[in-house]
Amino acid sequence: MRELVEKLFAGEEAWVVGGAVRDHALGRPVVDLDVACREPERAARKFARRSGGAPFPLSERHGAWRVALDGDRTVDFTPLPGGIEDDLGTRDFTINAVAERVGGDETVDPYDGLGDLGASRIRAVRESVFEDDPLRLLRAVRLEDELPHDFRMVPETVELVRAHANLVTRPAGERIVAELRRLSPRGYRRLEDLGLLEPHGGTIDERLERWDSPDYRLVAVFGEGVERFPVSNELRRFAKALVRAERPEDDPRSIHRFRRATEPWSPEALAYLGAPELMAAIDTARREEPAEPLLRGDELGLPPGPEIGRLLAEIDEERAAGTIATKEDALAYARRKSGAVREDG
């Protein structure tokens, strides 16, 4: 991405800025490139033609454009109405306020961001940084969490975060969730320490580290309160499955009922309940689950309705418990329960 930007825009007023400069200096993979330039739309379309990417406006209000590439890589073209130092003055942290001129060797670093990189410091560019964009409260914690573990906010920035913690709920929900999903348990604990978790209704307990996934951590911290955020229906179902799960006994019938209530998230639900010793039973039940049911609904001789589903569910449970094993057993069970099964079934 960087090579193509250099080739296409050398000689123009264009600068690579922000996280791309930071990550390159730290020897980290660069998957998002941010280019400040005079005509973002023209630059984005030009880059897209040569790269095969898809250009689209990122912000109509601010005039930024993005080119989406394969492998979840992106190149953003942002407007540069004034000089590059003016642009850098609007950035969040000094380590993100360094620019390198496209096609040249010039580096602009008015806030000693490179010095802070070398010292593993996260420092706000100015005191109004969190008022200008409260999402930066979460971003500060996420940077501590994602960068090498010796990176920490300087005391002055920590105090700024604490002083502006009441602003943390103001950003759009989608932006908040995007930041939260990138946090490790360490990051969530830092949010709590800085007073950034409680305003969102989150709490931390021993469940946080029992399973390693962004969705699980969201539920472990917010429970069904995760629905207050703009999340997918799938995540809503996941949260309900975990929060409403009841600890099963270590017997086939109980494991079957637990799986009916929690699949496809039974392992995560066991972790949420603190019952990892039952994971083997879940694995066994999954592995031994029959490929086909003993009966179909149209073999019960009953009018359409919820009774059919109830009977089939009971038959599946009895089969899992080992009390029935054949189609004949299933028909006999249904006959006892309903008295309406066809004799030629």
Task: Give span(s): CATH 1.10.110.30, the chain.
Answer: 126-204
How many Å apart are CA 136 and CA 164, to the nearest integer? 10
Q: What is the pLDDT of residue 301?
A: 74
Q: What is the pLDDT of residues 136-165, one digit of tens each?
A: 999 999 999 999 878 999 999 999 999 999
CATH architecture of 126-204: Orthogonal Bundle (1.10)
Q: What is the pLDDT of residue 58?
A: 85
Q: Residues 26-65, buried b or exposed e (16+ Cβ, 10 A)?
A: eeeebeebbbbbebbeebbebbbeebebebeebeeeeebb
Rounded distance between C-alpha atoms, residue 307 and residue 338, angstroms: 9
Alpha helices in 10-154 (DSSP H): 19-26, 40-51, 84-88, 113-118, 129-132, 135-146
Q: What is the mean pLDDT of residues 80-99?
A: 94
| pLDDT tens digits along 187-220 | 999 999 999 999 999 999 999 999 999 999 999 9
DSSP one-letter string for 149-181 = TT-EE-HHHHHHHHHTGGGTT-S-HHHHHHHHT
Q: What was the pLDDT predicted at 135?
A: 97
The strand pair at 14-17 and 152-153 is best described as unpaired
pLDDT at 345: 43
Q: Tally the residues of the chain.
A: 345
pTM of the model: 0.86
Residues facing 66 on adjacent strands = 56, 76
Which pLDDT band, with edges at 50, 70 and 90, does 344 fall under?
very low
pLDDT at 307: 80
Q: Does domain 1-119 have CATH number 3.30.460.10?
A: yes
Question: What is the band of 320 on the pLDDT scale with cuts at 50, 70, 90?
Answer: confident
**Residue tagged 């494991």 (tokens):** 255
